[in-house]
Amino acid sequence: MPPGQAAPANVTELHRYAQALIVQLTADGTAPEPPPGVTDVPDHWLAPAVAALVRIMAGEDAHEAVERASRLDAERTALFLCLALAVCGLGDRVHASWLGTAFGELAADRPVTPGQRALWLAAARGAYGPVGKIFVLRKLDATAVPAEDERWLKALVPAEPEVTAPPSLDGFSELADLPEIARSLKAAATLRRLRERCAEIVATPATGEVTKVVQGTIWAEDEPLAVLRSLIGQEDREPPLGSLTELLLRDIRPGGDPHLAALALHVGAPAVKASAEALLEVVRRPPPDSVTVSLLGHPVTLRPEGPDQESLAAAEQRIAAERLSGRPRPWGAYALFGVAAVLVVLGLLLFPPLAVAGLGAAGGAGYLLWRHRVAEGQEMRQVQKRISELSDLADKAVWALHEYARELEARAEAAAEDVAELTRMLRRGPRAA
């Protein structure tokens, strides 16, 4: 056997014991008694690291074992100890230097490693106490989030908020659908949902210490255990995860881990605040000086002083044209008048009874003409009624816009309060304990 290489049987026993150790740590937070000689495998970092873990859990001095393991592989040793102690609820025994060695450096242009993500998760859940959470926050803060990054708003409020028309526009869906008004209403609803979502995140209860009583439910299927199994060779080494920003945006989405969301919100605070302020500006925009809406199917321009008379007159003309231009002329009555005239002439010249028939035809023609005039008068009254409805509706729409402008002031004040409260939440940051 080449010098410096551990015996395969000893390494196999070491891995078996490490696997049993992880299982028992997860189950009840204790360590099984190591078989004789299993931690004496030379030139393998895991042997002194396991020995150090057992001594730390027993409350004994493990300095020498940690030194030996660190000389062989400092990064793996630190990561193993940090995660194993977190899983068994003894994260407060982790040395700050171990966290620094295990975590390494974060960069926006490099993917996050599974080990970094596992430490991130453990610290977020309070496994290392306030100091550990502050340590991870400082690491995350090293990557600046641009204020103009709109992805944070989309992650916090992924679904379109439900927008209801204000009372002032009740019955005027055409006004509520105007782009200028619809954008303002949507911005106010989005801002309110953003504030609610941030309040949900910052209201996450303090994690405190991860105890042995709850460890099984906390770590059952999370990154710390997967990384531990990878370190001891039980599973293949996991590839790097996504970028730092991708993970933060995933954490902050609704339905994610609330402790990770709290850290992500702290990191993305500049972008979240900028999005809130941009929404407030949209809410505050006054309604346009003039809007063109469809009233009774015709475009009418509305101004603060009243409906635009030119567009209103054009709409009235279209209403009259639609109702009157298609009516047929009384050609039947005109034809009967012609027949009557011919019959009267023939009766006077040739056969008198034809004149009597001609008079009857003239009477029928007069009746038809009368009926046409009556129907035409009814149509004119309908047109006048329709025009009156249009004028009344236009006046009501103008008053609705005035009332909307008054409501806008109250809506803008509420939106400003949402931004102020959101800013206070972001300044407080995540709870450290």
Residue of higher predicted confidence among 131 and 41: 131
The predicted structure's pLDDT at residue 70: 92
Q: Of 93, 283, 107, 308, whose CA–CA distance to 181 is shortest?
A: 283
pLDDT over 60 (residue 256):
yes
Q: Confidence band (pLDDT; 50, 70, 90) for 203?
A: confident
Question: In the predicted model, what is the mean pLDDT of residues 203-216?
Answer: 47
Report the pLDDT value the prediction gives residue 37, as an integer from 0 to 100. 75
Does pTM top 0.75 for this prediction? no
Report the DSSP beta bridge partners of residue 303: 306
Task: Please tell me the predicted confidence (pLDDT) of residue 2.
Answer: 45
What is the pLDDT at residue 191?
Answer: 95
Residues in the chain: 433
Across 152-157, average pLDDT: 94
Q: Residue holding tokens 């407030």?
A: 280
CB 51 within 8 A of CB 39: yes
pLDDT at 214: 41
Pairing of strands 298-303, 291-295: antiparallel
More confident residue, 236 or 352: 352
The residues, any chain, with a CB within 8 Å of residue 344's CB and separated by 6 or more, are 354, 355, 358, 359, 362
Please report, rounded to a whole number, the percentage of residues in the chain having pLDDT higher than 90.
24
The pLDDT, as a whole number, for residue 164 is: 81
pLDDT for the residue numbered 181: 85
Q: Which of the two residues, 409 and 360, has the higher pLDDT score?
A: 409
Q: Where are the beta strands (DSSP E) in 250-305?
A: 291-295, 298-303
